[in-house]
Amino acid sequence: MKVLVVGSGGREHALIKKLRESKAAPQLYCAPGNGGIACDAVCAPVKATDITGMVEYCKQEAIDFVVVAPDDPLAMGMVDALEAAGIPAFGPTGRAAAIEGSKVFAKGLMKKYGIPTAQYETFSQEQEAMAYIRQRGEYPVVIKADGLALGKGVIIAQNEQEAAAALDSIMKDKIFGDSGNQVVVEEFLTGPEVSVLAFTDSKTILPMVSSMDHKRVGEGNTGPNTGGMGCIAPNPHYTKEMADLCMERIFLPTMRAMNEEGRPFKGCLYFGLMLTPKGPYVIEYNCRFGDPEAQAVLPLLDGDLLEIMQAIREERLDQVPVGWKPGASACVILASGGYPVQYEKGKKISGLDAGGQCPGAVVYHAGTQQREDGFYTAGGRVLGVSATAGSLPEALEKAYAAVEDIHFEGMHFRRDIGKY
Ligand code: AMP
Ligand code: GLY
């Protein structure tokens, strides 16, 4: 069986490594993949957003099953296009992916179905948004671009000046392009953040082990937001009682709401939650596995990922075994100097073997290129070093011990993953 994963980051590498354990022993492909993924799968030179090219490639290579991992191709309807061409694909349709692709849609859904989320208003005119913020007069205030913005479309403004500057950059200067045609202005919430990824076929929803991303670049959760600098699983703040509450108030209602709206969601639904003093609130939905959440959560999956994905597509998730290993997992991201602002690529990486790995941990490649003499950096986030163990402190120790062996010019990482 030939299985292709669409995408090129650490998340895709984690998906590939897990799919490789499947008892169907699939032949693995990745499009476009990266230097490290090439050690585990055939990398195809097709861009993740090239829908026509992807359908053509899959037909040409007789691919049996496609896993569409990133948000852009999902929002663009890649799953719809593959299925229309007779190629079975895992992931939500374009209409269901709107739960991430449009914050205005996601907020409207939560309001309509009573799913707890921050109070908000939406605006397509900058002056009206600013008038609302002034009249409200409460800071900080959260301003979000409607569409996809590489995880950077959220600005927390501490005062009126910052709010005005944020609206200018999103709505006038269009720093996120058309994603900024509309904005959501919402209440600032506080509390620990939890990521919960869930398998769902629109009839059954099975949350995975919870996790905690570390979005800020600096230690102590300081500095600008990144794609994620590390992750632990399970999330220590997420108790069994909280999980039950989230199932009743958030997970099931969301699955049912999408069905009611004629947008049944099949795939991995990501709940970005905040555990506020008033209970769990949804900060955001994503229509896919998180990155770096996948690199911490998937190693703990006790189940056949390919079988689970096929069952989801065929709406029989209730019939496959999905279990979780005891213990904990940690992933530390190694980033290029200057990331997330400006960084150079093409630095030689030392400490990896020919397969892109190092002892004591699993190395997921996010932005690497393979040359004759080894691996080179090719992105902002370069590697994710993951380890599992009986407890979180042991998992962190193993991951950080492996990090000691790896080096490239300008490399930086957070030493406080899992400390919060
Ligand atoms: P998002 O891209 O929606 O995940 O937002 C990025 C980050 O902004 C989140 O992880 C939160 O830390 C923060 N954030 C988003 N919405 C709110 C909110 N309403 N209140 C407080 N923090 C927020
Ligand atoms: N880790 C956050 C995301 O994947 O959007």
110 Cα–ligand 2 center, Å: 20
3-class DSSP state of 220: coil
From the CA of 142, the nearest ligand is 1
The predicted pLDDT at position 17 comes to 98
Residue with CA closest to ligand 1 atom 12: 193
Position in ligand 2 atom list of the atom nearest CA 213 = 1
Return the DSSP state at 336: -
CA–CA distance, 404 with 218 (Å, rounded to integer):
19
From the CA of 276, the nearest ligand is 1
Position in ligand 2 atom list of the atom nearest CA 272 = 2
From the CA of 155, the nearest ligand is 1
The predicted pLDDT at position 179 comes to 87
Which pTM does this prediction carry?
Answer: 0.96
Is the Cβ–Cβ distance between 34 and 367 less than 8 Å?
Answer: yes
Longest dimension (CA), the chain: 61
Map tokens 């699993």 to a residue. Answer: 362
193 Cβ partners below 8 Å, 6+ apart?
Answer: 212, 213, 272, 273, 274, 275, 283
284 Cα–ligand 1 center, Å: 8
Residue with CA closest to ligand 1 atom 15: 283
The predicted pLDDT at position 19 comes to 98
The predicted pLDDT at position 278 comes to 95
Ligand 1 neighbours by CB, cut-off 6 Å: 118, 142, 151, 154, 186-189, 193, 215, 272, 283-284
Q: Considering Cα of 266, then 272, then 275, then 280, what sign does the dihedral take?
A: negative
257 Cα–ligand 2 center, Å: 23
Condensed to tens digits (0 to 9), the pLDDT of residues 63-95 reads: 999 999 999 999 999 999 999 999 999 999 999
171 Cα–ligand 2 center, Å: 24
Position in ligand 1 atom list of the atom nearest CA 215 = 10
The predicted pLDDT at position 152 comes to 74
- Describe the chain by its helix, strand, coil percentages, rounded to 5: 30, 30, 40
From the CA of 148, the nearest ligand is 1
The predicted pLDDT at position 148 comes to 85
CB atoms within 10 A of CB 87: 19
From the CA of 190, the nearest ligand is 1
- Which of 274, 281, 286 most suits a substitution to test ligand 1, by most atoms within 8 Å of the C-beta? 274
Rg (CA), the chain: 21
3-class DSSP state of 29: strand
The predicted pLDDT at position 321 comes to 95
Q: Considering Cα of 82, then 96, then 320, then 9, what sign does the dihedral take?
A: positive
**What is the distance of C-alpha 388 from the center of its chain?**
20
Q: Is 286 in the pocket of ligand 2 (CB under 6 A)?
A: yes
Residue with CA closest to ligand 1 atom 16: 283
The predicted pLDDT at position 150 comes to 73
Pairing state between β 183-187 and 141-145:
antiparallel
Q: How far is CA 389 from CA 45, 258, 399, in A?
A: 36, 37, 10
Residue with CA closest to ligand 2 atom 2: 290
The predicted pLDDT at position 410 comes to 98
What does each of the 420 residues of the chain score in pLDDT, given as a tens digit?
A: 999 999 999 999 999 999 999 999 999 999 999 999 999 999 999 999 999 999 999 999 999 999 999 999 999 999 999 999 999 999 999 999 999 999 999 999 999 999 999 999 999 999 999 999 999 999 999 999 998 887 678 899 999 999 999 999 999 999 898 988 999 999 999 999 999 999 999 999 999 999 999 999 999 999 988 989 999 999 999 999 999 999 999 999 999 999 999 999 999 999 999 999 999 999 999 999 999 999 999 999 999 999 999 999 999 999 999 999 999 999 999 999 999 999 999 999 999 999 999 999 999 999 999 999 999 999 999 999 999 999 999 999 999 999 999 999 999 999 999 998
